[in-house]
Each structure stands twice: as C-alpha cells, then as structure tokens.
Amino acid sequence: MELTTVWFLLIALLWTGYFVLEGFDFGVGVLLPVLGGDDDDRRSILATIGPVWDGNEVWLIVAGGATFAAFPEWYATLFSGFYLPLFLILVALILRGVAIEYRGKSDSPRSWDRAMFLGSLLPAFLWGVAFANIVRGVPLDADHEYTGSLLTLLNPYALLGGLATLTLFTLHGAVFLTLRTGGDLRARSAALAGRLAVGALLVGGAFLLATQLTVGKAATWVTVAVAAAAIAGALLATLRGRDGWAFTASAVAIIAVTVTLFGSLWPNVMPALDPANSLNVRDAASTPYTLTVMTWVAVIFTPLVLFYQGWTYWVFRRRVTGARVGA
C-alpha cells in the first residue's frame, strides 16, 4: 500500500476519532439549556465532559497537523477556500473552552451557559456543512484555487449535511448524558435521546441518501446501512435502559457516517465541480521521505496517546451525581 493511501486512511481515522469523542461534547453543550433545569443540573451536565473535553480536541489538532504535513496542497486549498467557516468554528471552540473554565468563577453563570451552547451548536453544524462541500465538490480553477464565495458553500446539500451532523451529535450527547448521569437528569436525557434518534434517522438518512445518489460509491451503501442500523440500535438500547450499548451504537453511527464521507471522497481529497480541476491524493501529497518520517513518528507516538486517553476515560467512568463544576 502506498504511503499516500496510508496517510489518507490515517487522516480519515483522526477525523473519525474527533467526531466520535468531540461529538458528544458538542451534544452536551447543545443540550445544556434544554436539560439544565437548575444550576445543579447544569453543573452535573458540564461535569460529565469536564475532565475529557480538552483531550478530545487534540484529535482535531493532530488531524489538521497531519493534513498540513502529508497533503500540503489539500491543506492550502481547504483553508483558503473555507477560511470563514473554519474561522467561525475556531472562534466557537475558543468560546466554548472559555465558558467551561470560567463558568464556576463568574457571578453570572447563565451568560457562560449561553456561550457554551453557541460554542457547541456552531461547530456541530458547520463541520457538516464543510464536509458536505468537500465531498460534493467546490469550484476550483486549474491551480486548485477556490473560486467561489461563502454563499457557494451554503448550498442545500451542505445545509442538509450541517443539520445531519447537528442532530447526530446532539443524539450522541444525549446518550452520553444518559450513560454518565443518574436520577431525574438521566431519565430526561433518555427520553430526549429517544426523540433525537428519530430525528437523526430522518435527517441523517436524507443526507446519506443524497450523498449516495450524487457522489457515493457502491461500497459505501454498506456504511449507510450500518449508520441507519446503529441509530435504530441506539434508540432500542435507550428504551431498554442499556446505556452502554446505546452509546456504543451512536458512536458506531458516527463512525459509519464518517467512513461514508471519506469513502465517497477517495481518491480525491478536494473534488472540483469541474472534474479536470479536482485535487487527488497523489497530486496533494508531500514527498515520500516526508511521509516515511511521519509514518515512523505516528507508529511510535499514536499508541501512547491512545493509551493515555483511554486511561483518562477509565478513571472518570463513574456516573456524575451532585457535581460541583468549577467550585
């Protein structure tokens, strides 16, 4: 297998990990004003992600760095053409991080709760918009320069993609809260997860169907079916009180959706509306020497990072009850 293929798969893996782990962070933030009936509830909700949210964002940093090093032309085209949406995502992530850290130190925590909600809602929606455009294709010239505008990115298919990721991440957050909280808060989270699963199945199904009919491959029909079955499984497991299985199923749904998108993208990394101007993995890749060095670094350090993050989740695996965030 060529190193360009290996690194395309590794970058897809990094984005998958980011969406699975950060996805429930986004969902928790979106649900904060919905499930946070009083201040104690809101503190408990935030306590579920307090020890892990910043570690989850490392996946995004590594994915961006790997793209820059392995496929510099892809990175350049993507970040120049999608500058404003990516800038808004960055601002939202900063706002969300500040809200988590400073909520307990403020005399007006509700202001930080609103910041947390907005800082979670925007990325959950905009990541879907961005990836939908990447998979569908954008206007590029012969030099692989983006020639469209912001309105070009806000096409119906991309907006549907944004709604799909928003509903799926919100479902993931509700299932995570069902797994990590107890009492009335857990019951309300489970009830909401059931309703969100129906919405995710409808909106996500419409988006994946549109993807398959426009740019999908024959093989990705399998992952579309897996995504639909996993969402249905999350609903069934939630109704039966099997919280661990419900969270696993929602994670599998996100994995299947991400695999569908990257599977539809291959062998391009930045498709153009004019296929002659599309950027593929070979044209966008760094030199073989650079990819070889990166591969050795990844082989050495990736298991260490995975072990540390897995240990963190194991330490903070118990349900949150009566949490005092920032106290």
- The DSSP string of 258-280 is HHHHHHHHTTEEE-BSSGGG-EE
Give the confidence band of 322 by pLDDT, cuts at 50, 70, 90: low
State the pLDDT at residue 104. Answer: 74
Write down the pTM of the prediction: 0.91
Residue that has been written with the tokens 């260490």 in this structure: 304
Mean pLDDT of 185-210: 93
Mean pLDDT of the chain: 89
Residue 105 DSSP symbol: G
Full set of structural domains in the chain with CATH: 3-315 (1.20.1630)
Strands 279-280 and 268-270, by their bridges, are antiparallel
What distance in Å separates the CA atoms of residue 56 and residue 53, rounded to the nearest whole number? Answer: 5
Distances (CA, A) of 28 to 91, 166, 178, 254: 18, 12, 11, 16
pLDDT of residue 326: 44
pLDDT band at 125 (very low <50, low <70, confident <90, very high): very high
CB 131 within 8 A of CB 85: no
Return the structure tokens found at 238. Answer: 């939630």
- Host H or E run for residue 270: strand 268-270
* The token pair that represents 209 in the structure block: 């169907």
| Whether residue 267 has a cis bond before it, omega within 30° of 0 | yes
The string of pLDDT tens digits covering residues 65-87 is: 999 999 999 999 888 888 888 99
Tens of pLDDT, residues 219-269: 999 999 999 999 999 999 988 889 899 999 999 999 999 999 999 999 999
157-174 average pLDDT score: 96
Residue 311's pLDDT is: 84
DSSP code for 37: -
